């Protein structure tokens, strides 16, 4: 679920002086937590380069870093900590025309990892997309004001793949806990992955209702309000179940993968896949995508003769968990 890369000619920088000024002018007197993103934003703005162009220049140097990661770094949501990311940061300094080591010096010691850190690192929904602008525009057309008041405890998705290799249905079951009074809805954002495919129908189960729905055919994005039966008080829990039904047959084919994006931590995620026994994949694997947009924890999954497979993640997020499959020739 990556963002597109703009293949534009690279413009040379002749603003080294202004970039250095932006770095020094924007730094707080002490190296506070926001020193790095503030300096990076200033350097990017002074360079006149878009994130796509910066990524292009880094790739020309053999450095692979996503637009999503660059966006996280300059917003302060994430910072480079992996060895690969720190190496990329050295090249980024050169691309932006800032003094060598000036950005790296602002990082400070590594931040603590683990459960406590994950609990405090909830992201916005749109931050999980490489190109967040279409998602942001779509969300303005619906109401998700109390979505952040719900903590997702568990998520269970079941995806059905038809004999024609198209996506037939996706059944979703979620367990939430309210963190404040009045929580009455959650949010659905669905990415077709292949724009131009017909949108699925959202069908409510017996624990919720469907509110407003917005679509962006150009971006292939769907967003909707999932309304709870009644508002929750703080500490109360609820189960939400609904489904996405694709039109067919024939069923439209996506990119032969399924990714679930988690803006915050979840205790348990289960993904079930149901392939038609007459059309089994030749290969199936599970992997995760971290906040630097790096693929990690890749492993092969087995598919039974009757087409069943599953993936499980415990204490996961924020991040993205994906399953992809390949068909026989």
pLDDT tens for each residue of 38-90: 889 899 999 999 888 898 888 888 887 877 788 878 877 777 776 677 778 88
Same domain, residue pair 176 and 299: yes
Grade residue 159 by pLDDT with cuts at 50, 70 and 90. Answer: very high
CATH number of the domain to which 79 belongs: 1.10.260
In a domain, 22, yes or no: yes
Residues paired with 238 in a beta bridge: 176
In a domain, 214, yes or no: no
pTM: 0.66
In a domain, 132, yes or no: no
Please compute the mean of the pLDDT values over residues 286-308 and round it to a whole number.
Answer: 87
In a domain, 138, yes or no: no
pLDDT mean across residues, the chain: 82
Same domain, residue pair 199 and 61: no
CATH number of the domain to which 171 belongs: 2.60.40
Q: What is the pLDDT of residue 172?
A: 97
Domains contained in the chain, number: 2
Enter the tokens of residue 95.
């691309």
Which residue in 53, 55, 42, 41 sits closest to 12, CA to CA?
Answer: 53
* Stronger pLDDT, 148 or 223, i.e. the higher one: 223
CB neighbour list of residue 189: distance below 8 Å, 6 or more residues apart: 125, 135, 138, 139, 221, 222, 223, 261
Q: Which segment of 2-11, 45-54, 139-148, 209-218 scores lowest on mean pLDDT?
A: 2-11
Q: Is the dihedral of CA 229, 233, 238, 241 positive or negative?
A: positive
Same domain, residue pair 176 and 286: yes
Same domain, residue pair 38 and 104: yes
Same domain, residue pair 171 and 292: yes
Q: What is the pLDDT of residue 116?
A: 41
Q: What is the pLDDT of residue 295?
A: 81
**Please, where are the H alpha helices in the chain?**
16-26, 35-47, 51-60, 67-75, 83-96, 115-119, 133-139
pLDDT of 260 higher than 60: yes
Gap between the Cα atoms of 122 and 264, Å rounded: 4
In a domain, 225, yes or no: no
Same domain, residue pair 82 and 195: no
Q: What is the pLDDT of residues 298-317, one digit of tens each?
A: 899 999 999 999 999 988 88
Which residue in 85, 81, 89 sits closest to 40, CA to CA?
Answer: 89
Same domain, residue pair 318 and 201: yes
Gap between the Cα atoms of 295 and 141, Å rounded: 32
pLDDT of 250 higher than 80: yes
Same domain, residue pair 106 and 162: no
pLDDT of 9 higher than 80: no
Q: What is the pLDDT of residue 64?
A: 79
Residues in the chain: 329
Please compute the mean of the pLDDT values over residues 165-192 and round it to a whole number.
Answer: 94
Last residue of a domain, one of 54, 88, 111: 111
Same domain, residue pair 243 and 304: yes
Beta-carbon neighbour count of residue 329 at 10 Å? 4
Grade residue 322 by pLDDT with cuts at 50, 70 and 90. Answer: very high
Same domain, residue pair 85 and 170: no
Q: What is the pLDDT of residue 255?
A: 93
Domain that holds residue 102: 16-111
Please compute the mean of the pLDDT values over residues 205-232 and round it to a whole number.
Answer: 94
pLDDT of 119 higher than 70: no
Per-position DSSP letters for 123-179, written without gaps between them: PPGGGGSSS-HHHHHHHTTS--TTGGGEEEEEEEEEEEE-TTS-EEEEEEEEEEEES
């Amino acid at each position: 679920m990556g963002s597109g890369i703009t293949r534009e000619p690279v413009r040379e920088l002749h603003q080294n002086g202004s970039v250095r000024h932006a770095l020094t002018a924007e730094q707080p007197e002490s190296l506070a937590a926001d020193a790095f993103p503030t300096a990076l934003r200033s350097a990017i703005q002074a360079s006149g380069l878009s994130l796509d162009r910066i990524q292009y220049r880094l790739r020309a140097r053999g450095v692979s870093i996503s637009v999503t990661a660059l966006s996280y770094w300059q917003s302060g949501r994430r910072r480079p900590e992996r060895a690969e990311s720190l190496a990329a940061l050295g090249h980024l300094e050169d691309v932006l025309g800032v003094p060598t080591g000036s950005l790296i010096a602002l990082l400070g010691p590594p931040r603590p990892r683990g459960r406590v850190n994950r609990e405090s690192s909830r992201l916005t929904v749109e931050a999980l997309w490489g190109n967040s602008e279409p998602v942001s525009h779509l969300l303005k057309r619906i109401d998700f004001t109390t979505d952040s008041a719900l903590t997702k405890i568990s998520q269970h998705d079941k995806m059905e793949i038809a004999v024609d290799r198209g996506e037939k249905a996706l059944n979703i079951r979620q367990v939430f806990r309210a963190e404040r009074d009045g929580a009455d809805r959650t949010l659905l954002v669905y990415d077709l992955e292949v724009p131009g495919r017909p949108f699925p129908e959202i069908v409510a189960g017996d624990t919720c209702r469907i509110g407003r729905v917005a679509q962006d055919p150009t971006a292939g994005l769907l967003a909707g309000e999932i309304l709870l039966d009644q508002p929750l008080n703080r500490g109360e829990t609820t189960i939400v179940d609904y489904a996405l039904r694709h039109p067919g047959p024939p069923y439209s084919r996506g990119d032969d993968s399924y990714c679930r994006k988690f803006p915050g931590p979840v205790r348990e995620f289960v993904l079930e896949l149901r392939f038609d026994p007459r059309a089994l994949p030749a290969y199936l694997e599970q992997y995760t995508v971290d906040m630097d947009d790096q693929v990690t924890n890749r492993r092969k999954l087995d598919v039974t003769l009757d087409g069943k497979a599953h993936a499980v993640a415990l204490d996961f997020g924020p991040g993205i968990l994906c399953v992809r499959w390949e068909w026989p020739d």
